[in-house]
Structure 1
Amino acid sequence: MKRTDKYLTLLGLFFFLLGLWHLCRFSPAATNVAPQRQETAKILLVPLDGRPPCRQFVIDAGHIAGLAVTPPPNELQDYYSQPGDTEGMKQWLSANIETSQAVILSIDQLLYGGLLTAREKEKTPAERQQLIAFLRQLHEKHPAVPIYAFSILPRQTPQDTIDGYWERRHLLAYSRLKGRQAEGLPVSTEELQKLEAAIPAESLARYLSHFEENRLLNEELIQLTKEGVFTQLVLGQDDGEPYTIPNIEKKQLQQYIHQQNLPPDKVFLTHGADEIALSLLSLIQNRRAGFKPRVLVKYAAPYMAQRIMPYMAVSIDETVKEKIALLGGEETTTAEDADFTLYISACDKDTGDVAARKTAVKQLKANQQEDAPTALVDLSKHFEASETVLPLLIEADYPVNNLIAYAGWNTTSNAIGTALAQASIYEACRQQTEDRQEMIGLTAANLTFLQGRILEDYFYLKDDIELVNQNLKKAGYINTADLDLEHNYRWANRMLQNSMQQHIASYKQTKSARTPVKFTSPAGDFTLMMQDLTAELSYPWPRTFEIWLHATPSFAMPSEK
């Protein structure tokens, strides 16, 4: 065993023993609580791909809602660059839809075998028509089962099959100029001509045909929605910028939807991709409960609303508005009219506004004292801990379990969509649950999801990912997005587990994590405290970009004296 590995193992053992001593010495008498919910419906999920945000998050959020989210077997699912079994997925869907109350369906998975494959592969018109025919037949056989489908517009980044360094740079520059030109902004005709001359004709044709194929596919899906095959269709826009060719396709689709006279509750365009299935689960729950979330939106600083964050084509404010609308909700202007508050911090150290984090702490504490349910979106321009609010909240002993949702995912649309979906599911259930034990189980399930997001979005994505990447690069492994399953992938997993377990051992002993929180509901008031927190962790794909994390917090109701 290497000296560093021995050190990390001993340090982890020390923190474990320290935590055990702390629990024995300081934990009050309490009644243990299980995050269990009575399942009231089965939802079939064909996820965008096998990554946890697209698959596991939806299953876990289903536990909050009391919905049994059922994904396809792992052997049918894609794995990294290996596409899923599309024919097997169709057979599984046909065999299971009859016993389900709704379907959340990724078109990219069913047609291409997942998002990564959809970015690279083309399908013929005949293959697209085969899928359209299958979907029509599926609806004809099971007309009572609503299908919530979603499809993703391609991102501006050229396909990996176009691998020349200058080709890719020229294509991106060309895309940006064409995007500006389409918006009526002045561009250099000479520069456009130079780029067209520099890009091999075959590469330019392949790049442009990718968007054309996707546009034709989405128009066919819109027609299916008009026919009633889909209860709702959501078109998501993958990583983008304000002026690029993907925005041209989006405008064309907006015009087509308008021509078909379809309202947003039938066809909805949104920015983002990975979080859409979770948003659709929330929409399903909202419709089942007759719940239309009223959301009060607050910012750590007013100007943050207009900030355009990395990988986004629109401002934070526009993203918030569309994500609320996707859930069937509305923005309110007062706390009295709101079901919950969506609090957003989006700091950029280059502008010197990290001081706004202190304002955020004060405002979040005020919300807590006013018993205002609050979901926190903790964004950072450079994806660094120094730009986030959570460490200051922990330092200030803010009871983190008072939050009804937390998200600090790197892409703004992902984080906002995830936090809103979780908060909406929880509030829809909380306001209608009259059985006290069900309410306690609901709250524990929501806190379990919350702790998972805190561990991944803050402790991993803002700290440990950099540690793992740096160590891999020091050892000579430059490409952390394509790990070797037989060598550095295993080492990366050990580093992930050791470093995260140290974070967890320290974090779970903080006053912020352990402070009991009082909850109110139609079923009566009760108090919960987190007594312990463990987690299983690994890399689901051979890259460090995301982790599979199963958080297991243990909650108890302190004994009343």
Structure 2
Amino acid sequence: MKIGFLPLDSRPCTYDFPVQLARQAGAEVILPPNGYISEYRQPSDTKKNIKWLKAIAPRCDCLVISAEQLIHGGLIQSRNARLTEDEQRAALGALEAIKHDTPSVKIFLSTVLMRTSISTVDEQTRIWWEKMNEYSHLRYLAHSGANEEILRAYESLEKEIPENVVASYLNARRVNHELNRACIELAAKNVVDTLFILQEDCAPERIHWLEQRVLMEDIEKNGLQDRTFLFNGTDEAACELMQKALHPEGAQAEVVWLSEQNNFIANYEDRPFIENVEGHMRAVNIRNRAGAKRVICILPPKQKQGEASEPRIGNAVDYTAEELKAICEKIRTMTEQGRNCYLLDVDFANGGNVRLLEALGQTMPVSELWGYSAWNTASNSLGTLLSQLLASPENTPSNQAFTYERMLDDGVYQSIVRREVTKQVRDSGEDVFNIKNTRQTEAWLREAFQNQRPLLNRIFGGNIPEFEAKMRWNRLFEAEIFVSGHRPVYL
């Protein structure tokens, strides 16, 4: 199958992961020419991207497209709403033109329901990020029959935040909401075959709930429940859409919770995580079947989800060493029974539980694991793991390499290395959201990984894969980590 791919942006999770897994599943992926997808704060040239899509469509079986890249030139750029609703709709018209000229091509589209706060691109916006989160909560309550006390708090906070920050935020929400609705219209017209609406970083009872209500009404009114899906996530969408295109038949897998806690709301999400598990599985047609050969092993938080980068030693709400050992024994037993285990670690947000990886490496060879995911939000991890499950009928060297990269990145980098390098960058006087001296930062990155060799030995049983760790953007929120022989897609 030939897939034309217009990614959300150029981060490894949105650009490389989908292509790696699609190629692993045997697809040929056609990517925009080098330089078409811009980095970080710089928007892509949307006119060039549209022209490119129209040119390649006749050669493709399907197109996997990010609406935010198509319209705004990237995810961060979509939060600034540089375009009007009319300009958005005109740009979306490119998809109708493609479908008209090439009726056989299937279009798999993703669009993002805007996060409840603003982008964090420097230290100052980090301050407003926190206040805008609270503003979103109070605004939702104020529009849902709140009492006088809440109304006063809402009005007070609105005065505290600069007027231009609030105005820009509300305008971006309005424009992005109209983009979401316009995408649903394209699905209703059969221009778009499958649509994912991804709810970006959020929490319960925020302003986005008002928007979700409208979108769900649009979906139901048009009878699109089997082709249009709305759930928490964002960065994993292209991975899932590519695998949905490649494997419309889906797969069977058994969901096994590795501890009793499965009724929790993950950080940056707005519903019980079990609902997201069910929603994502339904969207990619993975059916939960007891006794299935493939097993989705989910490690939930023992109590409440924490942050992976926070110091954990002696924390009373964490799993004990004995509990982690028992969990690993459970995984080993299923593996010895000939089952293919995929480990979804959502104990923490923004990284994995390295103590779990360490315990697992002492219990069984991690090469016998068929998949691992533990990065960013719980639903980001979930969607990536489900995609790897569909992409891996065999535990090939390519699949093992992807699993090792996730352990090195999601586990060790996000939980340990990132924190150490962030401190060094801040101590040097740099802004961690806009690093100038990337050469020095990458040297610190390599040094920090080198310092973790004893841990890596315990995880990988003394067989640490050769790997390279670099920065993709000039910030530390993500890193580019690839094992030897598994080259990055974005060059």
Pairing of 1:133-282 with structure 2 (within 5 A): 133-158=93-118, 170-180=131-141, 188-199=150-161, 203-264=165-226, 266-282=227-243
Shift of residue 194, structure 1, vs aligned partner: 3.1
Whether the 8 Å contact between 2:195 and 2:228 is mirrored in structure 1 is yes
Q: 2:282 aligns with which of 301, 325, 328?
A: 325
Shift of residue 263, structure 1, vs aligned partner: 2.1
Give the aligned partner of residue 483 of structure 2: 551
Give the aligned partner of residue 389 of structure 2: 423
Give the aligned partner of residue 74 of structure 2: 114
* Secondary structure of residue in 1 paired with 2:13: coil
Give the aligned partner of residue 340 of structure 1: 294
Pairing of 1:124-523 with structure 2 (within 5 A): 124-158=84-118, 170-180=131-141, 188-199=150-161, 203-264=165-226, 266-287=227-248, 290=249, 292-303=250-261, 305-332=262-289, 334-335=290-291, 338-347=292-301, 352-355=317-320, 356-381=323-348, 388-396=355-363, 398-427=364-393, 430=394, 443-477=396-430, 479-484=431-436, 488-500=437-449, 503=452, 507=456, 512=461
Q: Which has the larger radius of gyration?
A: 1
Shift of residue 188, structure 1, vs aligned partner: 2.5
Q: 1:540 to 1:383 in 2, by over 3 A?
A: closer
Q: 1:73 to 1:544 in 2, by over 3 A?
A: same
Q: 1:144 to 1:388 in 2, by over 3 A?
A: farther
Q: 1:176 to 1:506 in 2, by over 3 A?
A: closer
Are positions 1:105 and 2:65 aligned together?
yes
Q: Could you tell me how far apart the structure 1 residues matched to 2:458 and 2:484 are?
A: 15
Whether the 8 Å contact between 1:120 and 1:161 is mirrored in structure 2 is no
Q: 1:476 to 1:125 in 2, by over 3 A?
A: closer
Whether the 8 Å contact between 1:376 and 1:406 is mirrored in structure 2 is yes
Shift of residue 508, structure 1, vs aligned partner: 6.2
Shift of residue 537, structure 1, vs aligned partner: 2.4
Cα offsets for 1:518-550 (capped at 9, x unmatched)? xxxxxxxxxxxxxx7322321011011111122
Cα offsets for 1:80-110 (capped at 9, x unmatched)? 1011111111111111121111110001001
Whether the 8 Å contact between 2:142 and 2:154 is mirrored in structure 1 is no
Cα offsets for 1:373-428 (capped at 9, x unmatched)? 111012333657666411111133x111111110110211111111111012213x
Q: 1:145 to 1:504 in 2, by over 3 A?
A: farther
Q: Could you tell me how far apart the structure 2 residues matched to 1:311 and 1:58 are?
A: 23
The sequence identity of aligned pairs, in percent, is 24
Shift of residue 371, structure 1, vs aligned partner: 1.4
Whether the 8 Å contact between 2:63 and 2:106 is mirrored in structure 1 is yes
Cα offsets for 1:427-477 (capped at 9, x unmatched)? 3xx4xxxxxxxxxxx722211211111111112111211121122222232
Q: 2:25 aligns with which of 48, 55, 65?
A: 65
Cα offsets for 1:148-201 (capped at 9, x unmatched)? 011111111136799688866554323112334666776723323433454555
* Secondary structure of residue in 2 paired with 1:75: coil
Whether the 8 Å contact between 1:534 and 1:553 is mirrored in structure 2 is no
Shift of residue 504, structure 1, vs aligned partner: 6.3
Task: Count matched residues.
Answer: 471
* Secondary structure of residue in 1 paired with 2:231: strand
Amino acid aligned to 1:342: I
Amino acid aligned to 1:544: L
Shift of residue 346, structure 1, vs aligned partner: 3.0
TM-score by length of 1: 0.78
* Unaligned ranges ≥5, structure 1: 1-40, 431-441, 515-531, 555-561
TM-score by length of 2: 0.88
Report the RMSD for the aligned CA atoms in angstroms.
2.7
Cα offsets for 1:46-89 (capped at 9, x unmatched)? 00000010011111112210112222122111111011111111
When structure 1 is superposed on structure 2, of 118-127 and 73-82 the one drifting more is 118-127
Q: Could you tell me how far apart the structure 1 residues matched to 2:297 and 2:285 are?
A: 19
Runs of 4+ in 1 over 6 A off after TM superposition: 160-167, 183-187, 508-511
Q: 1:249 to 1:385 in 2, by over 3 A?
A: closer
Give the aligned partner of residue 534 of structure 1: 466
Q: Could you tell me how far apart the structure 2 residues matched to 1:462 and 1:169 are?
A: 22
